[in-house]
Structure 1
Amino acid sequence: MLQAHYTLVILLHKQEETTGNQFPSRKSVLFFGLMLAMGIVRKPSYASYWANGNGNVLTYTLNFSQIMSRNRFQQILRFLHCNDNGLAAERGQAGYDPLHKVANIIEFFNRTFEENYSIISINYLQYMYSQNVCIDERMIGFKGRHFLKQYIANKKAHRWGVKAWVLAESGSGYTLQLEIYKGKSNSPRHPDGQGYKVVMDLIRPHFGNQHHVTIDSWFTSPNLVHDLRNVLVQSLPHEKACPRVLKGEILAKSQGPVIENMEMTRTPNSKGKVVNAPALVHKYNETMGGVDLGDQFIAQYESQFRSLKLW
């Protein structure tokens, strides 16, 4: 599938000369199929997938050697690139993109996510898509040396890695759009702030679909909420700076049309005590975990082998 959209080239570096050679489309499909299979069948090394186990059927991995030889697999893994490095602009020059090596494949995946969104609907006969989506951070695990590497303490799957902004379906964790954070110096400034730009960029392919998008306080701003409503997207923002009021006191403020009436619900907390809370608080807690849910699914099938390079 990837071969049908992009040319994945093998760059064979020989002294100072570079020769570009394509490997056949069928080989690329087989290679990525084996990579995905390694996330399901866990073994200590690449070579162990081709080991015959000295006749032991319990340790022998069936079909790997029949699909592709070990040497061929390792050769592709060593020289595989997703873009032509010769076309990359140097840092400090116009057109510099720190993600040039993977830009094509990110674009491909975002388009594929959008095209296949309807297949994960909870009840396909009634809904073509789920209404509730959320935007949050995702860490792509990486412990090598790169200026994009960050540390986020509250991410259980990967605390070290490259940060990505993700639009995900709240109920299933399905990833709808993905945007890699390029760093402050490589990201153009937006008059309404980076949080505004991230949300609008991720939700843009779904304008007019009547989604309810849940976001945390880092993204929230009045301009964002107003502009989302104008493109038929409702938002459920989280704002830490809401002023505290006296017990029993109610403050009501609004601007423009009322989207939803306020309701109060009673629910037990962690200590078993019943407390009153607005219904929107419970809806926020129910719909904000889509990205974390997706991280849990990804962790079950992640490759356990460390990468020695950035494609």
Structure 2
Amino acid sequence: MLCESESGYVWNFVIYTGQGTMFDNDYEDLPVSSKIVMTLMKPLLKKGYCLTMDDYYNSPQLADLLTENETDVYGTVRVSRKEMPSGLKQEKLQKGGMVAYKRRKVTAIKWKDKKDVVLLSTVHNTEMVETEKRGKLVKKPKLVMDYNNTMGGVDKVDQRLQDYPLTRKRRKRYYKKIFFHIVDFALWNSYLLYLKSGGEATALKYRLQVIDETIKKYHTPMMSSK
């Protein structure tokens, strides 16, 4: 899913169907993870957006491609990715230590917290910022702080859709699961737009109102059960 980071609005999504998954033909030569990103982002390229993603998708090659399309990116990255600096893997750090490498616009850093955290960015450098943790001031890379603050869009959608799911776990027919999942997305997006326009109802009350309005508009005596 591609979501707006603050609200969780679902901008685009790809339904995974194994080898038959449909990607944009312009990106057929890319790795699967990069195909997903570029297919989702294609309508937003060259518009100055900044994309946050986790280590399954992120890579130096993808960062270069997005930069060429006037789109910035940052997020966690696997140290084993192609073109990642070998020094990131070899360097042993003490807690709070950091090592960084830069290539053109792409910066890769490794920072030691409880464990090693490896990130890649086209908009950050090695800047450190202070933050409060358990009543104490500690320093963290600004890249880590920004990543933590903007990575929650997809998580927010997943959490909220679990509250009132239309899709039943035991439903066997996959096409019905897909259909109801898409309806869930539509309800979630419409609820966010409702809030943005001044609405104050809870998610549950909003859903019940949608049900009432749908019944009023489409229900007829011929549809009544006997």
Which blocks of at least 5 consecutive residues in structure 1 are unaligned? Answer: 1-165
What is the CA-CA distance between 1:249 and the residue it aligns to? 5.9
* Matching residue within 29, 34, 39 for 1:201: 39
Q: TM-score, normalised by structure 2?
A: 0.55
1:50-61 pair list within 5 angstroms: none
**Is the alpha carbon distance of 1:252 and 1:291 closer, same or farther for their aligned partners in structure 2, counting shifts above 3 Å?**
closer
Alpha-carbon distance between aligned partners in 1 of 2:93 and 2:163, rounded to the nearest angstrom: 46
Task: Tell me the SS of whatever aligns to 2:140.
Answer: strand
Question: Structure 1, residues 210-259: CA drift from partner, whole Å, max 9, x if none?
Answer: 11111111111111000101111100131242434444765442111474
Could you tell me whether the CA contact under 8 Å between 1:196 and 1:224 is conserved in 2?
A: yes
* Matching residue within 193, 211, 215 for 2:49: 211
Alpha-carbon distance between aligned partners in 1 of 2:164 and 2:67, rounded to the nearest angstrom: 37
Alpha-carbon distance between aligned partners in 1 of 2:20 and 2:143, rounded to the nearest angstrom: 36
**Is the alpha carbon distance of 1:240 and 1:275 closer, same or farther for their aligned partners in structure 2, counting shifts above 3 Å?**
farther
What is the CA-CA distance between 1:275 and the residue it aligns to? 2.6
Alpha-carbon distance between aligned partners in 2 of 1:303 and 1:252, rounded to the nearest angstrom: 46
Alpha-carbon distance between aligned partners in 2 of 1:282 and 1:260, rounded to the nearest angstrom: 11
Q: TM-score, normalised by structure 1?
A: 0.41
Superposition CA RMSD, Å: 2.7
Q: Which has the higher helix share?
A: 2
Q: Whose Rg is larger? A: 1
Tell me which residue corresponds to 1:265: 129
Tell me which residue corresponds to 1:293: 156
* Matching residue within 124, 142, 145 for 1:282: 145
Could you tell me whether the CA contact under 8 Å between 1:192 and 1:223 is conserved in 2?
A: no
Alpha-carbon distance between aligned partners in 2 of 1:264 and 1:272, rounded to the nearest angstrom: 19
Question: Structure 1, residues 134-156: CA drift from partner, whole Å, max 9, x if none?
Answer: xxxxxxxxxxxxxxxxxxxxxxx
Tell me which residue corresponds to 1:84: none
Could you tell me whether the CA contact under 8 Å between 2:56 and 2:78 is conserved in 1?
A: no
Task: State the percentage of identical aligned residues.
Answer: 32
What is the CA-CA distance between 1:190 and the residue it aligns to? 4.9
Amino acid across the alignment from 1:256:
R
Task: Tell me the SS of whatever aligns to 1:201.
Answer: helix
1:75-224 pair list within 5 angstroms: 166-183=1-18, 185-187=19-21, 190-224=28-62
Task: Tell me the SS of whatever aligns to 1:303.
Answer: coil
Alpha-carbon distance between aligned partners in 1 of 2:4 and 2:135, rounded to the nearest angstrom: 30
Could you tell me whether the CA contact under 8 Å between 2:4 and 2:10 is conserved in 1?
A: yes
What is the CA-CA distance between 1:209 and the residue it aligns to? 1.9
Alpha-carbon distance between aligned partners in 2 of 1:240 and 1:179, rounded to the nearest angstrom: 23
Which blocks of at least 5 consecutive residues in structure 2 are unaligned? Answer: 80-87, 107-122, 177-226
Aligned length: 144
What is the CA-CA distance between 1:201 and the residue it aligns to? 0.5
